[in-house]
Amino acid sequence: MPRLTSPPPHIRFFFPFFSYIPCVVFLCFLSHAAESQIQDQELQVLSKLRQSWQDPSSLDHWVASNSSSHCAWPEIKCQEGSITELNLVNLNINYSIPPFVCDLKNLTKLDLSYNNIPGEFPAVLYNCSKLVYLDLSQNYFEGPIPSDINRMADLQVLILAANSFSFDVPASVARLRRLRILHLYMSEYNGTYPEEIFGLSDLEELRLEYNKKFVPSQLPQNFTVLKKLRDMEALEHLDLGINPLTGEIPGSIFALRNLSELYVYETYVSKSIPQAVRAANLRVIDLSLNNLMGNIPEVFGQLKNLYSLNLEFNQLSGGIPEGIASLPALSDVRLSNNNLSGTIPPDFGKFSPLRRFEVAFNNLTGAFPEQLCHGGTLFGLATMNNNLSGELPESLGNCSTLLEVMLNNNGFTGKVPGGLWMSRNLTALLLSGNGLTGELPKELSRKLNRIEMSNNKFFGKILSTVSSWRNLVVFDASNNLLSGTVPAELTVLPSLTTLLLGQNKLSGILPTDIVSWKSLNTLNLSHNKISGPIPSEIGFLPGLTQLDLSDNQLSGLIPPEIGQLNLNRLNLSSNRLSGPIPAKLENAAYDTSFPNNPGLCASNSFMRINVCNTQSHRLSKTNLTLIVILAIAAAMCVLLVVLFMIRASRKNRDWFDSTPKLTPFQRLNFTESNILSGLKGPNVIGSGGSGKVYRIVVNSSGDTVAVKRISNNQKLNEKLEKQFAAEVEILGNIKHRHIVKLLCCISCEHSKLLVYEYMENGSLDRWLHKKKRLSPILGVANNMILEWPKRLQIALGAAKGLCYMHNDCSSPIIHRDVKSSNILLDSEFNAKIADFGLARMLAEPGEAVSMTAVAGSFGYLAPEYAHTTRVNEKIDVYSFGVVLLELTTGREPNDRDEDMCLADWAWFHFDQGKPISDVIDEEIRDNSSLDQICNVFKLGIFCTAKLPSTRPTMKEKFQHKLDAAPFLGNSKYEEMPRRYFHVLECNTY
């Protein structure tokens, strides 16, 4: 094009060569000016962005300075002075994305993951014409993915996971032909996904897992799709787990040449696993928790890169292919809970760096493989419930990496390899139900806290060196041949909770100095030959709930101190005990605890032993005066009793006048008379506005219930009547792991009883708030600390309960009185929501209902109550937020020493940008999980937002946030065990 490069003659005339120089300089200047102008413009966009997000403190460093350009800020990447990337991860952004973000014309990557952005899919981003990479995961987006999303035609990476997107995944997604990475996992899609996704030929990662609400569909079976599937030559990572998929696994998946990780777990796929595999690079195969049948394909034994093979919880049969045992990369083998048979290939471990080997609950036979720990990396070993036999290999004793060894219920014989007891990292050793023999070890590994070795042939004495087993929590050696005495040294183990030594040949007397057995809750020494008295010190073990000393040769009186214990189970039968049983044990709950002790007697006949008969004996020795005095006293007694009976019969008339009507909500193992007889003073464990609460042991196996008695004398007032009806209607109809169980109700004309499962650890408030801790109720001692993991567990449990009420019941339920005293804790600190007296059903989620009056508790009341009585489930979210703040700060919701309620106080602190760690409860502050605690605190802040619409819902998404909390700040959370995510299910309990 010479015409353009050489200027026309007259122009050449006016611009001689030298005159070009200033011009070039000027152009340079112009271009510099242009660049700095672009920089200025882009800087302005950034500052507008920050403003529109209400200046989150995480962006405080976004201030213009002369010394460095915004291109140096950590969130930003530029090319030639123009912004190309915004990485705004986990910055507490709570507002939507403004349209002017696309004024950054060169933006190719936008990452907004782990924020709290609400609203629909941000279609404003269509104007970002160069966008290649978009990550919106872990936010609060909802609604559909727009059907014109294919306008973002350059997208190569689209990550929308862990939001609340619903409806269908539109076919337009499959028209983004350049996609390399597509993550749609963990959302609320309740429609279908386009089969055309299988066919995106550049796709390297496709993650659709954890979308349980998809309309059930088959894995692609039809020919055209399968043919397309074959074009997905780039696919390396395919995850379809936890989806309602049916049909079988198509062979073409295993034909994807580059496939490296395949996850199809917890779906409904059935039939057999394809037997041909072209994907030679497979590293991970996870087909667990399906209905797969048939054999494990032999060709798996040729996958040289296979690292993890998980086929557990299927119905696979046949043997374990030999080839698998010698794969060089194999680390993780999980084949438990199938119908596998034959022997375990002996080469397992010989060529592979095995870390986990789990084949439990199958029908495997033959010997234990010799070389499992050859690579020196094995930490998990589970072969329980098979028919394995022979001796355990000595090599197992030289495997210092082992953490858990579960070999129970097989046919192993011979001795336990000596080194195993001392294995440096071992925490649990389960050997029960074999034919093993040998003596107890002198020493144990420091970390061992659980030994189960019952039903074997171990013999010899419990040595005095047992005192060195310091960290033991559970020791079960029942049904062996142990002899000698129970040594005093066994009683110094400070963490021991469970000691089971029944059915051995122990003899001698019991040690008396047992005060350091502080943690013990279960003691079983039955079926031995122990003699001498029962030490009264047993009565001072604070946590003992189960005591079985039956079938020994114990003699003497039963120490009255035993009566102080809160025993669920007591068995002292078949001994040589004598004298009267302690008054406190004369209770129908213990009527099978004493038989077959010829010298023992009780003052009541229902105890199924002799009735004591000492009175007549004494009488014969007394003189006349005494007889007279006694006679007068007796007369007065009779008078008193008569008076008392008259009163009592008045008081309890309702029970006997009208027959009580019992409405069961599930199978019961007690009758109404068990309940009615327990309604007495000593059983009262609390009382509140609506009446008293009793703890009642209802039968001889120690089953315990809590009974709420509404009203007593007067007619039930209307308000209480309503609360009773609400509680019965709602709790009688819903069952959920995290909602307290109503077993039955008993009603008479003037009184109502609600019978619930008994919750050993009482209510959450007692654990959190010092002032309430002094309460002797439930034995919650003043110094008991609720550690952080338990608090997190409680928060999760309560969230699941609420989530269920709000979303998964046929009519959604608002509780209206969520508070820490209505969150009850069972023996394992599982949270259960209780007290539905104020609860209301809604026609559908989100619907607002009119309340005639403000209900609920101060400190937990959502602010909208101030201006409206129309409320929806967001009021529960508010109250739950207050509970989260209580859990993290340890403060009371409405502390009288403070001017503000907890929610306002926390907002105030947070708003001033002070470090959150300053307000964390001292009891948990010294904690490696401080980040996690701060995240839960922030969640509390978020839930107590003034505007109901800005609060999150209790939906699954919300739980993900909470559950993801352990991993926030650790962007690798996706690499955590995916099983972790099951427990978040909100509706499967």
Ligand X SMILES: *[C@@H]1O[C@H](CO)[C@@H](O)[C@H](O)[C@H]1NC(C)=O
Q: What residue ranges bind ligand X (CB under 6 A)?
A: 38, 79-80, 82, 105-106, 166-167, 190
In the complex, the smallest distance separating the C-beta of residue 948 from ligand X, rounded to whole angstroms, is: 18
Q: Is 937 helix (H, G, I), strand (E, B) or coil?
A: helix
d(CA 334, CA 337): 9
Q: What are phi and psi of 535, to 5 degrees?
A: -65, 135
Q: Which is nearer to ligand X, 216 or 376 (CB)?
A: 216
**Closest C-alpha to 406, from 394, 395, 419, 396:** 396
Q: Which residue stretches of 851-897 are H helix? A: 874-889
What pairing do the DSSP bridges indicate for beta strands 109-111 and 82-87? parallel
d(CA 308, CA 329): 9
Is residue 738 within 8 Å of residue 989, measured between CB atoms? yes
Q: What are phi and psi of 695, to 5 degrees?
A: -110, 120
Q: Which is nearer to ligand X, 82 or 468 (CB)?
A: 82
Scanning the structure block, which residue is given the tokens 């509780």? 815
Q: Which is nearer to ligand X, 783 or 949 (CB)?
A: 949
- Which one-letter amino acid corresponds to residue 885? L
In the complex, the smallest distance separating the C-beta of residue 80 from ligand X, rounded to whole angstroms, is: 4
Residue nearest to ligand X (CB): 105
In the complex, the smallest distance separating the C-beta of residue 955 from ligand X, rounded to whole angstroms, is: 9
Q: Which is nearer to ligand X, 819 or 957 (CB)?
A: 957
In the complex, the smallest distance separating the C-beta of residue 33 from ligand X, rounded to whole angstroms, is: 12
Angle between helical axes of 874-889 and 930-943 (0-180°, round to 10)? 150
Specify the DSSP element, H or E, that contains 665.
Answer: none
In the complex, the smallest distance separating the C-beta of residue 334 from ligand X, rounded to whole angstroms, is: 35
Ligand-binding annotation for 715, yes or no, is: no
In the complex, the smallest distance separating the C-beta of residue 345 from ligand X, rounded to whole angstroms, is: 49
**Residue 335 CA from chain centroid, whole number:** 24
Neighbours of 292 (CB within 10 A): 22
- DSSP per residue, 324-379: HHT-TT--EEE--SSEEEEEPPTTTTTSS---EEE--SSEEEEPPPTTTTTTS---
Query: CB burial class (10 A; 0-12, 13-18, 19+) of residue 628?
Result: exposed
CA angle at 671 for the pair 666 and 673, rounded to the nearest 5°:
145
Q: Which is nearer to ligand X, 106 or 555 (CB)?
A: 106
**736 vs 448, 803, 805, 986, CA distance in Å?**
35, 11, 9, 9
Specify the DSSP element, H or E, that contains 482.
Answer: strand 481-484
Q: Which is nearer to ligand X, 105 or 175 (CB)?
A: 105
Q: Which is nearer to ligand X, 154 or 443 (CB)?
A: 154
Which residue in the list 817, 876, 921, 963 is annotated as catalytic? 817
- Which one-letter amino acid corresponds to residue 30? L
Is residue 111 among the annotated active site residues?
A: no
Q: Which is nearer to ligand X, 31 or 663 (CB)?
A: 31
Q: Which is nearer to ligand X, 373 or 814 (CB)?
A: 814
In the complex, the smallest distance separating the C-beta of residue 160 from ligand X, rounded to whole angstroms, is: 16
Q: In what order do the strands lie in the sheet with 118-119?
A: 118-119, 140-143, 164-165
Q: Which is nearer to ligand X, 254 or 804 (CB)?
A: 804
Tokens standing for 945?
Answer: 């937002």
Tokens standing for 674?
Answer: 């068990």
Q: Which residue stretches of 260-394 are H helix? A: 322-325
d(CA 822, CA 831): 10
In the complex, the smallest distance separating the C-beta of residue 774 from ligand X, rounded to whole angstroms, is: 47
d(CA 117, CA 119): 7
Neighbours of 763 (CB within 10 A): 23
Residues 6+ apart with CB under 8 A from 792: 929, 932, 936, 965, 966
Scanning the structure block, which residue is given the tokens 């089953």? 703
In the complex, the smallest distance separating the C-beta of residue 155 from ligand X, rounded to whole angstroms, is: 19
Scanning the structure block, which residue is given the tokens 């047993």? 538
In the complex, the smallest distance separating the C-beta of residue 219 from ligand X, rounded to whole angstroms, is: 22
d(CA 156, CA 203): 9
DSSP classification of residue 806: I
d(CA 919, CA 657): 57
Residues carrying an active site annotation: 817
Enumerate the known binding-site residues: 708
Annotated binding residues for ATP, written as ranges, equal: 708
